[in-house]
Structure 1
C-alpha cells in the first residue's frame, strides 16, 4: 500500500478532481437529507459548485508547491462559495493549505497541521458553531491525525506514517458522520445524518484515496440513516423557514469585520465571515454569509462598512437544489 502513495501536487490535483466528480454524483442524495440549518435541499449542489470553482481555478496551474496550489483553489472556492456548506468547504481548504505552503510533498505531520488549522479556521468563521455538522467531521479528522501522529514510533515523515494517519482520519470521519444524527434534534427527528457532514466525508475520503492510490468505498454510505437512494427527500416535509440567504465579498479591516459580524448576528443567523486574501496591511477581502428575514436589512449593514461585490440573494424556501 505505502509504495503507491503519491504525495506531490499531482495527488492534490487528483483529489480536487475526484471530489468534484463524487460530490456531483452524490448531490441529489445530499440534497435529499438537507435538514440543518435550514431544510432547503441544496447542500449537495452547493458543495459541488463550490468544489468545482476551486478545481477549475487550478485545472491548468503548474506548481510544485502543494500549499500554494491548494491556496489558489481555496481562494477561488471562497469567491464562488454557495451556501453554508460551500462557504465552510472553502474555509476548510484555505485552512488546510496554510501549513502546506512552501512544501512539495505531503507528510503525516503536514497533514496533521493542515487539518488542525482547517479546524480552527472553520470553527472561528461561524458566529455560532454547532456540533453535529461539517464541523464535527473536521474536528474528528484533526483529532485523529494529531493523536495518531503522536503515537507513531517510526519516522513521522515516512510514507508509512502518512498512510497510517490517512487510514485513521478516514475511520474517525466516518464515525463522526454517524454521530451527527444524535447531536442535533432536527436530524434526530428526521432520522437522517447531516448532509454537510456526509459531504465533508466525501471530500476527506477522496483525499485519502487520491494520496493512497485507491478507490473510495461509497457503498458503505448506504449505512448512514436516510442516505439510501430510495429514501424520500426529507427536506420537503421539514422546511418551514422563511427569509433569504445573503452572500457577498467585501474589503474590511479587522475592526470593520468585527463590527459587521456583530451587527449581522443581531439581525440574522448562520453568520459566516472568513478572510479570502489580504489586500493591504491588516485589510482583507471577506466572504460574508447570513440568513435574514429581508435582504435589504443585511445589505444596508454591509454597505455601511464598505462596497460589497459578488452579491447573491437566495430564498430560504424549499427548492430542488
Structure 2
C-alpha cells in the first residue's frame, strides 16, 4: 500500500499524465463549443505539457524540488493558448507546494493540488466558471477536505478523480455555450486526462505515449528563433542580424537575396530602414551583400553552435521569473530605439501589412496555432527598444503574451487586440511622439471604436445565438455573436457588413483569405461599395487560412 510519494513516483505520475493528455488531444480538440475552427484546446494543452516533460527529462535526479522546478519552467515557457497558460499555472502551483520536501503524504499532495488551483485562479483576470478552473478548484477543495477519509494514496486519488469528473460533467450547467453544443468543457477534460494518467502511474502502470504523438510533440515544441533548444546538428551556425539603411532597396528585394544564405529569415522594413535576421554559415558574405544597397547601422553575429554547448537557462530558483529571461541576446553596436512592436498573424498578406507598419517581429500563429510564451520571449529578446508593444490579435493568445511580459525584464505592453483589424487599427493610431502609457490609453479607445467581423465555416452541427448551423456552413461572426449562416460566402459576408455598418461608418475594410479568388473578392468589394456609396470600401489580400474574410468597420 502506497503511503508516500517520492521523487521517482512523482516524476512517473507526471510523465504518465502528460502521455495520457497527449494521447487524447484530438478528443479534447473536438470539445470546443463554438462552431468555428477553434479546435485547439487539446493541442495547446498537449504542447504545453510536452514542453514540461522535455524540461523534466533534463533532470537526472529524483529530487522533488528539482523535478517540480523543471515541470514549472518547461510548462511556463511552452504554454500556448488560454488553456495551456492555465495548465502551466496549475503545474506551477503544485511545484511550489512540493518545494523543499523529500516525499509527499496524502495531506501534502492534497495541498499541492489546492495550490495548483489557487495559482491558476490568480493568473486569470476574470475567471469563468464552467471551465478548467472550475474542475481544478472543485477537485482541489475536495482533496483537502477528504484527506483523513482514506486508507491509501490510491483510494484517495481515485476519489479526487471521481470528483474531477463530476465537476467536468456539471460544466454545461455553468456555461450556456457548452449546454447548447452538448459538450463538456475541453480544458476541464484535458485536466481530467492528466489526472487519469497520474493515477495509472500511482497504480503501477505508466501510460505510454502513442507513436504519432511522440512525433508531433517533438516537432511542435521546436522553436524557430532559438536553436540552442534543439539538436546539436545545427545546419547554419551563425545568427546574423543587422539594420540596413537604404534608399534603393525594399524588404522584398533584400529577402529574396538573403534566401540563398541560410534559413530562419526575418526581414522587416519601413521608411528606408530594413532589419534582417538570418541564420547562415557565411555571415561575412551576408554583410557584403547588404553593403551593396546602403550602410549598416548595426551588426550582431552569434555562434549558435557555441551557444548550444553553453546553455544559459539557469536551473535554480524558479521563483525568480526574471531568471527565465536569461536567454537575452547581447545586442552589439545597436542603440535602443524608443518603441518596438511584436505581433501575431497568419497569412503572408497580413504579415506584409504589419511589416509595412514597421512591426519588428511578426510571429506566425493565431487561430488553431497559438504561439507559446517562449515564442514571445524569443521575439522580445530580438527587439532592442525601450518599450515593446505586443499585439496578440487573438483572444486565445493574450494570456501567453502577458505571461511573457511577466517573465521579461524589459518594458512590455500587451495591447489586448483580439483580431487583425484591431491590431492594424492600433498601429495606424500609434503616435511616436507620445509616451508608451499615452499610446496605451489611445489604443484602448481604438479598440472600443473598431467593429470587427469574421467569415469562416462551421466545424460541427450546433445552435448558436438562436441560429441553427450545419457542419460546413459558411458563418459570419462579430465579437462572440453569430450573425449569419448559409452556403454562399458573398451573401453571408454582405449580411455581416450590414450588421456592422451604420450612418456613422466611414471605412469598410475587407481582408480576403487564401481560399478566396482575387476576382471574387474584388467583385464583392464593388458590390458592397455600390450599397454604401458614402463609405470608402478597401480590399486587401490577407492570405489567412480558415477565414474567407476578415472585416473592419470604422
**TM-score exceeds 0.5:** yes
Residue of structure 2 in register with 1:203 after alignment: 194
Name the SS for the 1:178 alignment partner.
Answer: helix
- Cα contact 1:277–1:284 (8 A) shared by 2: no
Name the SS for the 2:173 alignment partner.
Answer: coil
Partner Cα distance (2:20, 2:181) in 1: 25
Going from structure 1 to structure 2, the CA distance change for 1:29 and 1:62 (only over 3 Å counts) comes to same
Of stretches 52-61 and 18-27 in structure 1, the one that deviates more from structure 2 is 18-27
Which of 26, 29, 36 is 1:28 aligned to?
A: 26
How many residues align? The count is 261
Which of 200, 212, 215 is 2:203 aligned to?
A: 212
RMSD over aligned CA atoms reads 4.0
Which of 91, 96, 100 is 1:98 aligned to?
A: 96
Residue of structure 2 in register with 1:71 after alignment: 69
Which of 136, 139, 145 is 2:137 aligned to?
A: 139
Per the TM alignment, residue 136 of structure 1 is displaced from its structure 2 partner at its CA by 1.2
Which of 43, 48, 51 is 1:50 aligned to?
A: 48
Per the TM alignment, residue 192 of structure 1 is displaced from its structure 2 partner at its CA by 0.7
**How does the TM-score come out when normalised to structure 1?**
0.67
Residue of structure 2 in register with 1:310 after alignment: none
Counting only pairs closer than 5 Å after superposition, residues 1-321 of structure 1 correspond to structure 2 as 2-3=1-2, 7-35=5-33, 40-149=38-147, 152=148, 160-214=151-205, 248=373, 249=376, 271-272=398-399, 273-274=402-403, 292-294=418-420, 296=423, 304=436
Per the TM alignment, residue 285 of structure 1 is displaced from its structure 2 partner at its CA by 11
Which whole-Å deviations, capped at 9, do the CAs of 1:65-108 have from their partners, x for residues lacking one?
32331221221111111111111111110011111011121211
- Specify which structure has the higher proportion of helix: 1
Partner Cα distance (1:21, 1:246) in 2: 22
Partner Cα distance (2:411, 2:115) in 1: 20
- Cα contact 1:66–1:106 (8 A) shared by 2: no
Going from structure 1 to structure 2, the CA distance change for 1:40 and 1:298 (only over 3 Å counts) comes to farther
Runs of 4+ in 1 over 4 A off after TM superposition: 36-39, 243-251, 267-271, 273-279, 283-286, 288-291, 297-301, 315-320
- Cα contact 2:16–2:200 (8 A) shared by 1: no
Per the TM alignment, residue 268 of structure 1 is displaced from its structure 2 partner at its CA by 7.8
Residue of structure 1 in register with 2:285 after alignment: none
Going from structure 1 to structure 2, the CA distance change for 1:55 and 1:148 (only over 3 Å counts) comes to same
Going from structure 1 to structure 2, the CA distance change for 1:183 and 1:78 (only over 3 Å counts) comes to same
In structure 1, runs of 5+ residues without a counterpart are 155-159, 217-242, 252-259, 306-314
Which is bigger in relative contact order (C-alpha 8 A, separation at least 6)? 1
- Cα contact 1:181–1:192 (8 A) shared by 2: yes
**How does the TM-score come out when normalised to structure 2?**
0.41
